[in-house]
A and B are shown apart, each in its own frame.
Chain A
């Protein structure tokens, strides 16, 4: 990978930022079930960490894609998964379509403040009755003059309780299936919008996840991002970037977990010797390191293809499914090799296992990735 001095320097910056500004707060955030995203994102924005690849016109940094890879990897090393997920939503899940297809007015109004960290945003696609099957969503946005009237609900939405606006996928016509959907910017202060419930979760406990309800929510028709009716296609492209972010972060998480486990096994004595004297443990960890390194370099290949402007749908699906499965394996083995203390809430392994279990579900489940691949590769009838 053509990493330059600037990339290495940026990695050092992010790493020290995570250690000094994020990790000390994770326990508190986990206990509260909330992170002060406006504060954290504003601080990060001042350092240029939000919207790295976006146009400087809107507060982006005009950086190359490798900086995003580094940011994700380093946030993957944080003491909890929630912050990396929230950041991913802000910079790589809720905003890519707005940046690429949004009108000037929408970008000035919603993208620029998000990149300054003044506004927090969410991506609202999943519904109570439609997750993997995005084409089954039912939330509607009906035209009324130059306004849209939105009705429906969205489920499992990250950053929901603090979001100032959401990128909502809704039906704007009756065509059905993949057709007739649009991506719409919906401000959270619009009358009729409500976070009806804060959801309690297995992991990612510092991240606020909500069930959203839209009852006759009125927004200007001009809040449609890009071409009306093109929402499904635009969202599928947005998912690709989301999956890449997730896979990049997984490498940082896995490397950190293996490092910490190695450190523990060097100290913990059983049968008169540090545990790491056991060849079984050495080889099991080495086996995992093999997989992590393969994912890392697969990610770099993905990043290169993306930088060349190629369609990375297939790359992203492969990286994401591998990341989900590998994180589950790494989390499980690291906990296992810690023994009893690994099962204790005070040890990082417990949270690591819970948080990272999400990877095989969020952003499209492993099975959805297989569906994408089966189609792409023709294992499909």
Chain B
């Protein structure tokens, strides 16, 4: 089973993000970390590979400036076999559709049975890239998995819904997105860390993939989040609950 995992290196969320004043793009430091939500995707992929046996492989696919490759090494140290990175200056500020086309091309080039992705990245939050990748690849997508298993040659998931979950399944080739509750991501081990450096990392450009950046999206302006309005303090003299009900009705939540 050939498993591709979409992973993203993002600026450390613990440090304040900086936006380029002209392009409004996030300024990407040399050292970027593995997006925390991708640890779940990597873990699901590793578990699927372990269940599938010896000839299963896990390939990381990422589109980003390589930088120090710190985030990619972290996923390799967890146990992925290799990484394919698309690093091309023309992709700076790529919109979601461009990103999806590029990643789909990289996955298609490698060949795959299963593609695993997180639900959305922590720096971009578009939440549409995985589904678009599936569309470009022409594969079905099983999204928001809170549980994943391979059963009778199919991938079966519990799809998180607002009411509970649906059980959905599809035969490979298939793409799935996993939620942060799906699995407990493993820590890299010392050995994993030492081996990560030896694992192959292919760096590709748009030319290698035969794709062009074709951004349809322009960021016209970025404004700071408006300051929070002061809240209303309700003194409860026995009638407080009525005011709360009225407020909830005003907010149209009940």
Pairwise interchain contact A13-B188, C-beta atoms closer than 8 A: yes
Question: Is B68 touching A5 in the complex (CB atoms < 8 A)?
Answer: yes
Tell me if A17 and B187 are in contact (CB < 8 A). yes
* Cβ 8 A contact of B77, one of A9, A49, A52, A61: A9
Q: Which of A79-123 contact B (CB under 8 A)?
A: none
Closest-by-CB residue of B relative to A50 is: B190
Question: Which residues in B have their C-beta under 8 angstroms from that of A61?
Answer: 190-191
Are A10's CB and B193's CB within 8 A? Answer: yes
Chain A: residues with CB nearer than 8 A to chain B?
5-6, 8-10, 12-13, 16-17, 46-49, 52, 61, 63, 67
In the complex, B196 has a CB within 8 A of chain A: yes
Q: Are A12 and B190 in contact (CB under 8 A)?
A: no
Query: Does B194 lie at the interface of the complex (its beta carbon under 8 Å from any beta carbon of A)?
Result: yes
Main secondary structure of the interface of A (DSSP, over half): helix
Chain B nearest CB: distance from A46 CB in Å? Answer: 7
Nearest B-chain residue to A49, judged by Cβ: B190
Chain B residues within 8 Å of A10, by CB: 190, 193
- Per CB-CB distance, the 10 closest pairs between chain A and chain B, nearest first, are A48-B190, A9-B193, A47-B189, A48-B189, A61-B190, A47-B187, A6-B193, A10-B193, A13-B188, A48-B191
Give the chain A neighbours of B205 by CB distance below 8 A: none
A5 near B197: Cβ-Cβ < 8 Å: yes
- 19 A-B pairs within 8 Å (CB atoms) are namely A5-B70, A5-B73, A6-B193, A6-B196, A6-B197, A9-B73, A9-B74, A9-B193, A10-B190, A13-B77, A13-B188, A13-B190, A16-B187, A47-B190, A48-B189, A48-B190, A49-B190, A61-B190, A61-B191
**B196 partner residues in chain A, CB cutoff 8 A:** 6, 9
Within 8 A of A (CB), among B151-205: 187-191, 193-194, 196-197
**Are A46 and B189 interface neighbours, CB within 8 A?**
yes
Measured between C-beta atoms, what is the minimum distance from B79 to chain A in Å? 13
- Residues of the A chain whose Cβ atoms lie less than 8 Å from the Cβ of B70: 5, 8-9
User: In the bound complex, how far is the Cα of B92 from the Cα of A56, in angstroms?
Assistant: 45
Residue on B with the closest CB to A12?
Answer: B74
Q: A5-B73, A10-B193 are in contact. List 20 more A-B contacts (CB 8 A).
A: A5-B197, A6-B193, A8-B70, A9-B70, A9-B73, A9-B74, A9-B188, A9-B193, A9-B196, A10-B190, A13-B77, A13-B188, A16-B187, A47-B187, A48-B189, A48-B190, A48-B191, A61-B190, A63-B190, A67-B190
**Complex CA–CA separation, A49 to B74 (angstroms):** 17
